[in-house]
Amino acid sequence: MTENVQIANQNFVLHPSGAALWKEKSTLLIADVHLGKIAHFRKNGLAVPPHIADTNFERLNTVISQLQPKSIYFLGDLFHSYLNAEWFVFEEWVQQTPCDMILVQGNHDIIADHKFEALGIPVKEELEEGPFCFTHHPEDIESAFNICGHIHPAVRMRGGGGQAATLSCFFISENQLILPAFGIFTGKHRLTPTKEDRVYAIVENEVVCVSNTR
C-alpha cells in the first residue's frame, strides 16, 4: 500500500520499495540502490548468495510496472563499487526499461561518468527542477526544497508488549525529504524526529504514517 503526500504544492506517491513518484512530472525518485554490492562482497570472500543481486532488479521492475513513470532520477549510490559482473546486468536492464534516467552522483558512484552516459544516463552533481533540488547527500538549501538519500533513514518503533523494531522510512522535515535506501543489502541509520517532522515507515509491504504531523 502506498501513501500520498504533498510537498511544496506538488504531489508524491511513497512506495513501499522506498521509491517515490513525483506525480506532476511522472518521475520516479530512487536513492541508494547499491547495485554491484553483492558481487563486490562475494569477490572479497563474503558468503553472500548470488541470487540476492537479482532481487534489486526485480524490485525496480515491480515499482516501474506499478507506478508507470516516464523518467527515473537515481539520487546517488546507484552502483556500489567499480565495474563487476552486475554492471552487465544493469546495462541490459537499462536497454529494456522504457524510461529516461538521470544519475545524481553519490559517494559510491565511482564508475566513470562516460560509462553511464554511453547508456543514455546523464550524470549530475545535483539537479534543480521546479521547487526542488535533488542531491545525494542531505543539504540545507535556502532557495529550494531538498530531496536526497545517502543516510538510509530509519525510525525506531515500539509496540505495546515491549517489542521494538527499526524500520526504514521516508523522513520529511520542513525543507527536506530523505528517501530510504532502495537496495535490499543496505544498513539503516536511525533518526529521531521532532514534532514537526513527517515520518512514513515501511512496514512489510505498506507505507505507514508514524508521526503526528501529516
Answering whether pTM is above 0.75, one says yes
Angle formed at CA 187 by CA 48 and CA 181, multiple of 5 degrees: 105
Give the residues across from 203 on adjacent strands. Answer: 206
d(Cα 32, Cα 20) in Å, to the nearest integer? 13
Question: Tell me, what's the pLDDT at 47?
Answer: 47
Q: At the topology level of CATH, where does 3-209 sit? A: Purple Acid Phosphatase; chain A, domain 2 (3.60.21)
What pLDDT does residue 172 have? 98
Domain boundaries, the chain: 3-209
* CA–CA gap between residue 128 and residue 121 (Å, rounded): 17
Which parts of the chain register pLDDT below 50?
A: 40, 42, 44, 47
Q: What does the H/E/C string look like for 137-194?
A: CCCCCCCCEEEECCCCEEEEEECCCCCEEEEEEEEEECCEEECCCCCCCCCCEECCCC
Residue type, 103: L
